[in-house]
């Protein structure tokens, strides 16, 4: 059995998640070390990311690799936790603020 990647879906989802996170290609570049031109090529489908760059993208975008590859329609493996599902769509700045708040509650 030959397994094929749906490159078109990968590109579409990568760009959707990036824009949903309110990040530019330059933002991604600065956080991953991947040149912004490479990110542009990856989103356009003219280049595929290396395994290392794929890992960097899913970490920075806080998204499941399976989602980007089209193997699932869930952004991440959050199970049924409604709070976690709500947080995943927020921009980085808001997620960081929530994380700081949670950490402050844990210290109290």
What is the tens place of the pLDDT at every residue in 21-37?
889 999 999 999 999 99
In this structure, is residue 15 part of a structural domain? yes
Structural domain total, the chain: 1
Q: Is pLDDT of 40 > 90?
A: yes
In this prediction, residue 66 has a pLDDT band, given cuts at 50, 70 and 90, of: confident
Structure tokens at 64: 């499941």
* Mean per-residue pLDDT over the chain, rounded: 85
In this structure, is residue 52 part of a structural domain? yes
Q: Is pLDDT of 85 > 60?
A: yes
In this structure, is residue 43 part of a structural domain? yes
Specify the pLDDT at position 76: 63
In this structure, is residue 1 part of a structural domain? no
**The Cα angle at residue 41 between residues 35 and 42, in degrees rounded to 5:** 90
In this structure, is residue 2 part of a structural domain? no
Per-residue pLDDT, averaged over 87-107, amounts to 81
| Comparison of pLDDT for 81 and 28, the residue scoring more | 28
CATH number for the domain harbouring residue 46: 1.10.260.40
In this prediction, residue 12 has a pLDDT band, given cuts at 50, 70 and 90, of: very high
Gyration radius from the chain CA atoms: 15
In this structure, is residue 22 part of a structural domain? yes
Place of tokens 């030959």: 2
Q: Give the residue numbers spanning the domain of 88.
A: 7-107
């Amino acid at each position: 059995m030959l397994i094929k990647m749906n490159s078109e879906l990968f590109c579409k989802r990568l760009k959707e998640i990036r824009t949903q996170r309110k990040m530019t290609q330059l933002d991604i570049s600065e956080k991953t070390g991947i040149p912004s031109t490479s990110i542009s090529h990856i989103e356009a489908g003219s280049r595929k990311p290396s395994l290392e760059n794929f890992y960097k993208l899913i970490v920075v975008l806080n998204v499941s690799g399976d989602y980007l590859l089209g193997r699932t329609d869930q952004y991440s493996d959050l199970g049924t936790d409604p709070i976690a599902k709500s947080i995943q769509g927020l921009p980085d700045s808001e997620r960081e603020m929530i994380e700081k708040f949670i950490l402050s509650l844990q210290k109290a």
